[in-house]
Structure 1
Amino acid sequence: MPRHTQQIRAHLNWLFFEGWEDINRLIYDTYINSPLSKRDALVGINLDVDDIWRKMVAYNADHAADARAVARKCGDKKKAVVERDFGEAELTQMTEEEAEAALWDVVQEICDDPDGLDPSALPEDLRTEALQSLARHLGSRTIESLSESQQTLLTTIIFAGCCEHKDHNCTKVGVVGMGKGWQLLSLTPPILLANKDNAATIALGVDADSDAVERALKASQRGAHKLVSICGNLFRHKDDKKGHQDLHRHFFTKVKFDVTGEHSTVKFPDTSNVHYGSHNAGAAELVTYHAAYLEFLSIIRDSKQTPGLNHSEQNAWNGLNDIPTMTECCVMTLYKNAVSDPYVAATRKPGVNHVDLGPLHMHVRAHIQKLHDNPDLLLDPTSSCEDATLDGKPFRDQFAVDSVHFMASRCPHLEVILKEFLKATLPAWERFSAEFAPDSIISLLSPAEKLLISIPPMNDSNEGLLGGWRVHSRTRSATTIQHFSAQTAYHRNDTEAFADAVLDTEEDAVYIMRLARVEDASGAMRKFREELIAFKQRVAEESREKQQKKEDNAVRRIAELRAVVIITGEQDLKKLKRDELHQQLDVRREFLKEPGIAGKLLKEMKNKADMLDAIMESDKR
């Protein structure tokens, strides 16, 4: 039974491989010193500290770079352990003379001055190091003689990215693609939905410091995703003392009964806690009950003692009345019904194994390409929904899709923005499903080998605990995190049944109580708090250094740009080399902040002529 404060302390380092090793060592030490271990040894049951690495097959997490780094380190550790195991088995097949000769060869390689050593009387630490190196070398050679798939199963850990994270990340990329689409197509973008402070700064316009206005504009967001987040805070705030969630539930229970004839007390999608799919669901909610939400906001406005909307409410009102913003809501609604919902349903079926999902992810990319090439599959009300959905089944929310078709006549750019969204998600799906690429580990596995591996397609076991702690701490404010951890482990691991079955002696009870007393007297939580503070201080210091470096680079960059002589004559510009033209572009973009060049990327200017044209167009303005 691991001491939970140790688990918590290691959780601070979950991004680091060392956290895994700390927890593994704690479990091993606790067991190996227990009476249970001694009884198990009598019947041939033994635990080795490296058994976790021998048995680890996959690492299930989100797609963050740090999670992948931990998975790689776990894979390196497993490979080292397996190579050592094979090498030690190989050593047992050698004669003593052969083993000593091989060991001496290794000593000569790793030692700077082997001539002064006696092969028969090596220092203990050097002999241990050489034996480990020899074992890995022999093991590596043995493993290389196996088939490629056998080597993979023995020495590699499969990284399995959570499928709901895949969908979540690809949706975010699609939203960004939508936002860029308005600019690329020279269309009026969605209305800016700035917070109260930024809106006040932006409203000052020319009377304010231009840098302050620019910072406020950069910090402000627009579009469907932002509108849904605002509505989520208004109608289902994570702090139940804020927002209009009670009034919202009462109002929309009646609205939905009038529309569907069914009683529904479903709340607004949980965007405050970034619940999977919540922003797509929120967009569908706003499209489906668009008129009702406008009426609801008007009731909020007119029922106040002093009629009016606060800033967040006004933002929601503005967004709901903005055609480009609602166009994006329509796009997200269509994507939810055609791709996201069927995809999540397919990955959440009982018994689904992550290693079997390669064909599904290939189908996702092919289907998105089909929708991009023929958007009428989604936009034409007479098209078959079976052709539009990923799984060939009816839309899961036909009413929401019908609402999009009803609103489409007021959204003239719906088709082009839909195509921009789909185009952006294609490379994202390819990137986030890289574990299924033709040359990936999973693709090399045979059907029989896949049967030996079981990886859940979701990371719910970990993600769910984060929400569990949040809810638990809200209702039981006196509970400590170590108590929650212990309680959760006790129920998840069915500890009571385990204890009843194998920890049934007085000796076991004494050992457990002794561990508990040691834990209580250790000051573990105090040490944990100190480590937490030290960790935060280290992060803050690194952040300050990073920010200072960024500011120093900005100052240096401005000095470099000030030193550049601005050239405006076309003939003089033509004489410049490519790097010198690049400098002229940078001066206009970064120093003079000319909007004509600021909107153009350097990669779009493939040669000197393109750069010259951009400079001349900017100078004319």
Structure 2
Amino acid sequence: MIAEAHTRLEMAQKQAVDAADRTASTSADVRYLKARLRALEARAQRYEALKDKLRVGSAEEKKRARTQLKKGRTFKQEIRAMVRMLLSCGCKQDRIGQVVREVAAAFGIQLDWVLSRRTVGRIALEGLVMARMQIGFELKQTQAFTMSSDSTGRRHQNYQSHHIHLKVPVGYDANSQVVFAESPTTRFVGVHLTTDHSTTTSHATWIRVYDDVMTTFNKSPLAKRTGTLDLRGICGRLRGMWGDHANNEKALSDSMRQTKYDLLLTELGEERMKMIEDDMGELEGRMQEWSAKKIADAGGIEKWNALPAAERAARDLATTAAMVQGLGVEELASMDEGERNLLTVWVWTGCCMHKDQNSFKGGNAAMTAHWKAIGAVGPIPLANKDNAAAVRKVLQPEKGDAPVTDEDIKKLEDIAFGGAKLMALAGAIFHNALDKRGQGDAHELFLEFALNEECVRRFPQTNNTRFGSHGEAAVELITHLDVYRCFMEVIRIRKVNQTYTNIEKNVNAGLHDNPTLTELAVLAIYHILITAPYM
């Protein structure tokens, strides 16, 4: 009985210990779960607070993004500058608002407005006003500048472009003196529609350009700080003109030089007039001299009195202007040579493209004539009776489809040979001005394969007006001579009858003719050493 009692006691003690262990474990679990619950509740509270904060912050940022683009009810200068940049990059005026909105959306900025076409146009006009103000300020500050222009026609409309070249102000030194850039800067001052290419029209257009700049600048705050700008001040700083070698461009340079000279004489004459105002004897003598000349030019006092009042007033003004000019001539003549040259200096420079073209043509003519002079075998002829019509279309396109006469054939045989003519014919094949003719795309694909390059330049367009195109073509043919010989063979075998056209036959023959290749090498060397660095 005692043993049985001990056994039951041990079992009861063991059950009590197990129950205590289970109770302790349950309490620990309860404490853990309570702590976990408190952590989750705190996280939920933080999440809700963060969500509210993000919601408020996002709204504020969106509002701030909208307000940063505008200042009051107008767009900020940064936006206006971006609009002008998009315009200069070729974006259409009525598409810029959409572009701005899409770009803003890509960066997470939602805009509820779009720049209208009219707003974009006004911003562009503001750019024009700012440009004229800037050019006026630079002309006011600079010590000297030159100008250049060129004219062209499109669809029976004449256009004239204008540029000025000057050292622009870049800041001020410690003494508040203007500091200029070390090298000149070219400023574009507009393209204007003109009625013709005459010197008179071009001169009047230039004066209108300067007048637009002066009008805008003189109404700006800059003019109040630096002083107004007038044509006399502009021409006083004008030192020369650049243009091509056309007669009207040279005449325009002479006309602008005369304008500069006339305004200089007027300025010097007015200064001299102020100097002699106190000397009544000299002033009276001058007035009597010019008054007598005025009456003499009219044919005497009776004819002078018979003139209408308006005519006499006009002649009085002309006489006064002539007297001032005369005083200016005397004042200019009294200066020393250095000071006089500084006021009257004028430099005219011609277009280097035309000079290089003339040099290239003259050198090529001398080279082709030298074969006979030294008694050597020259390049093969590239024109004959069978291909005269096709060759003439390339070398003499101005004759069109007119019938080819025996005289035309003889002239073509005399001129259609050598490296330059080979390049002209090659241009008609490898890069024709008309896309439907020639081997333009095939030439590009073949060179990409043969040269193992992803992108190759198209053959120089020698059958169109491109300065330096013949020299570039010579370099291209000599550099890749084997490739072009292979390409000519590919052109032939791709055809059903596997034959060349007349022009293709001549180009292929020229690529295998040593005298013709010699001329190509000479022209290529000239282009590399002279044309490329010069242009």
Interval of TM-score (by shorter of Structure 1 and Structure 2): 0.5 to 0.7
C-alpha change, 1:309 and 1:146, in structure 2 (3 Å) is: farther
Output the aligned Cα RMSD: 3.8
C-alpha change, 1:86 and 1:166, in structure 2 (3 Å) is: same
Match of 2:430 in 1: 235
Query: Could you tell me how far 1:282 is from its partner in structure 2?
Result: 1.0
Match of 2:277 in 1: 95
Matched, 1:310 2:501: yes
- Residue type of the alignment partner of 2:380: I
Match of 1:180 in 2: 369
Matches within 5 A, 1:456-475: none
SS at match of 2:349: strand
Match of 2:37 in 1: none
Q: Which of 253, 261, 264 is matched with 1:82 structurally?
A: 264
Matches within 5 A, 1:243-258: 243-257=438-452
C-alpha change, 1:39 and 1:228, in structure 2 (3 Å) is: same
d(CA) in 1 for partners of 2:484, 2:391: 27
Matched, 1:48 2:48: no
d(CA) in 1 for partners of 2:405, 2:529: 42
SS at match of 2:356: helix
CA contact (8 A) 1:83 1:140 kept: yes
Q: Which of 411, 424, 428 is matched with 1:218 structurally?
A: 411
Q: Which of 240, 243, 246 is matched with 1:61 structurally?
A: 243
Match of 2:122 in 1: none
Matched, 1:108 2:297: no
Query: Could you tell me how far 1:297 is from its partner in structure 2?
Result: 1.0
Query: Could you tell me how far 1:45 is from its partner in structure 2?
Result: 4.0
C-alpha change, 1:85 and 1:181, in structure 2 (3 Å) is: same
CA deviations 1:265-315 (Å, max 9, x no partner) are: 122224344433221121122122222212101111110233222233223
Q: Which of 358, 370, 376 is matched with 1:169 structurally?
A: 358
d(CA) in 2 for partners of 1:30, 1:61: 22
CA contact (8 A) 2:474 2:521 kept: yes
Matched, 1:13 2:206: no
CA contact (8 A) 1:74 1:157 kept: no
- Residue type of the alignment partner of 1:37: K
CA deviations 1:492-531 (Å, max 9, x no partner) are: xxxxxxxxxxxxxxxxxxxxxxxxxxxxxxxxxxxxxxxx
CA contact (8 A) 1:232 1:268 kept: yes
- Residue type of the alignment partner of 2:491: I
CA contact (8 A) 1:103 1:130 kept: no
CA contact (8 A) 1:83 1:143 kept: yes
Matches within 5 A, 1:314-333: 314-333=505-524
d(CA) in 2 for partners of 1:300, 1:184: 37
CA contact (8 A) 2:158 2:196 kept: no
- Residue type of the alignment partner of 1:157: W
Query: Could you tell me how far 1:40 is from its partner in structure 2?
Result: 7.0
CA contact (8 A) 1:79 1:156 kept: no
Query: Could you tell me how far 1:341 is from its partner in structure 2?
Result: 3.4
Q: Which moved more, 1:73-82 or 1:23-32?
A: 23-32
Q: Which of 473, 480, 494 is matched with 1:282 structurally?
A: 473
CA contact (8 A) 2:158 2:195 kept: no
C-alpha change, 1:201 and 1:30, in structure 2 (3 Å) is: closer
C-alpha change, 1:194 and 1:47, in structure 2 (3 Å) is: farther
C-alpha change, 1:195 and 1:93, in structure 2 (3 Å) is: farther
d(CA) in 2 for partners of 1:18, 1:153: 29
d(CA) in 2 for partners of 1:318, 1:54: 61
CA contact (8 A) 2:217 2:229 kept: no
CA deviations 1:215-266 (Å, max 9, x no partner) are: 3433553321121122223222344443222221222233334xxxx66512
Higher RCO structure, 1 or 2 (CA under 8 Å, sep 6+): 1
Matched, 1:131 2:314: no
Query: Could you tell me how far 1:157 is from its partner in structure 2?
Result: 2.6
Matches within 5 A, 1:485-500: none
CA contact (8 A) 1:191 1:325 kept: yes
- Residue type of the alignment partner of 1:165: H
CA contact (8 A) 1:57 1:153 kept: no
CA deviations 1:334-384 (Å, max 9, x no partner) are: 22233333444xxxxxxxxxxxxxxxxxxxxxxxxxxxxxxxxxxxxxxxx
d(CA) in 2 for partners of 1:35, 1:54: 18
d(CA) in 1 for partners of 2:479, 2:503: 21
- Residue type of the alignment partner of 1:326: L
Match of 1:336 in 2: 527
Unaligned runs of 5+ in 2: 1-127, 130-156, 161-190, 393-403
CA contact (8 A) 2:387 2:502 kept: no
SS at match of 1:160: strand
SS at match of 2:203: helix
CA deviations 1:389-426 (Å, max 9, x no partner) are: xxxxxxxxxxxxxxxxxxxxxxxxxxxxxxxxxxxxxx
C-alpha change, 1:30 and 1:330, in structure 2 (3 Å) is: closer
CA contact (8 A) 2:197 2:248 kept: no
d(CA) in 1 for partners of 2:477, 2:504: 14
C-alpha change, 1:24 and 1:101, in structure 2 (3 Å) is: same
d(CA) in 2 for partners of 1:50, 1:181: 55
Query: Could you tell me how far 1:71 is from its partner in structure 2?
Result: 1.4
SS at match of 1:267: coil
Match of 2:211 in 1: 28
CA contact (8 A) 1:14 1:20 kept: no
Query: Could you tell me how far 1:126 is from its partner in structure 2?
Result: 1.2
Match of 1:409 in 2: none
Matched positions, count: 331
Query: Could you tell me how far 1:175 is from its partner in structure 2?
Result: 1.0
- Residue type of the alignment partner of 2:410: L
d(CA) in 2 for partners of 1:272, 1:159: 31
d(CA) in 1 for partners of 2:510, 2:198: 39
Query: Could you tell me how far 1:89 is from its partner in structure 2?
Result: 1.6
C-alpha change, 1:48 and 1:201, in structure 2 (3 Å) is: closer
CA contact (8 A) 2:211 2:231 kept: yes
Q: Which moved more, 1:126-135 or 1:149-158?
A: 149-158
C-alpha change, 1:149 and 1:176, in structure 2 (3 Å) is: farther
- Residue type of the alignment partner of 2:202: G
SS at match of 2:405: helix
d(CA) in 2 for partners of 1:177, 1:74: 38
CA contact (8 A) 1:191 1:223 kept: yes
- Residue type of the alignment partner of 2:451: K
C-alpha change, 1:264 and 1:147, in structure 2 (3 Å) is: farther
Matched, 1:37 2:219: yes
d(CA) in 2 for partners of 1:264, 1:35: 48
CA contact (8 A) 1:28 1:47 kept: no
- Residue type of the alignment partner of 1:24: I
C-alpha change, 1:36 and 1:343, in structure 2 (3 Å) is: closer
CA contact (8 A) 2:419 2:519 kept: yes
What TM-score, normalized by structure 1, do the two folds share?
0.47
Of Structure 1 and Structure 2, which has the larger fraction of its residues in helix? 1
